[in-house]
A and B are shown apart, each in its own frame.
Chain A
Amino acid sequence: MKRYETLFIADPDLPEDTRTALFDRLRELITAGGGFIAAFDEWGLRKLAYIVKRKKRGYYALLDYCAAGKVVQELERVMRIDDRVIRFLTVVKDEDVNVDALREELERKAAQPEPEAELGEGAAKDAGDEESGVEDMDAEDDEEMEEEEN
């Protein structure tokens, strides 16, 4: 089975209950088709980089799941029809995944608080990277300018 990741944008003007109903429906679609949802992450309201269906903002949500290709087809078909979803993108995350092993691993992670500490470290490291990144960008900009001068 493959592991997929579907990032979709729900209509930002939906009332809370309609939105949860939509999310529940999509999640049920996966489980009904024999899939396993590894994670469901609501990013919340975000500004879109460009206007989609006359909306400037969108409610992002990320589905991380393992399922058969048929399920993905069905999920995408439903999303295309449903007006409450304004955009979606499905990406294969892992070509071949052992669902039972993944489930066990997730349960272990949920039970132990240790991985969270790890995550914290990772986040701190990321922040450091970003700082260095900013410096790099400055250098790049300079170079670009130089080229233009030449």
Chain B
Amino acid sequence: MVVRRKKRVFHRRKVCRFCADKGITIDFKDARTLKQFTTDRGKIIPRRISGTCARHQRQLTTAIKRARSIALMPFVGNVSDQ
């Protein structure tokens, strides 16, 4: 018997935060909200991890990229800060 993984992956149903709460809008100016969807290095968190739906992930990606271009968010995370 081949043990593929030491631990079973724990599955929790992830819900898209933007679908669950219509109140929050995706806006490139709102760096604080966008920051929640990036790693501390500044990478965009994939859908498979954050649970965001395809539609909102697309909007999110554009917003984060826009925020990056206007220096609201980093392209490369806080390497020097840490």
Contact = CB atoms under 8 A, between A and B. Distances in A.
B66 A136 contact: no
Interface string A122-142: 100110011011101101100
B62 to A, nearest CB: 10
A133 B24 CA distance: 11
Interface of B: prevailing SS:
loop
B71 A143 contact: no
Interface in A86-102: 87-89, 91
Contact of A140 (B28, B50, B72, B75): B50
A71 interface: no
Given A7-B70, A50-B74, A126 B24 contact: yes
Given A62-B29, A143-B49, A146-B7, A9 B23 contact: no
User: Size class of B's contact patch?
Assistant: 20 to 34
B75 to A, nearest CB: 7
Given A58-B71, A133-B17, A149-B7, 10 more contacts: A9-B70, A49-B68, A49-B71, A62-B29, A87-B69, A89-B28, A89-B69, A126-B24, A144-B49, A150-B5
Interface of B: 5-7, 9-10, 12, 17, 21, 23-24, 28-29, 31-33, 36, 45, 49-50, 66, 68-76
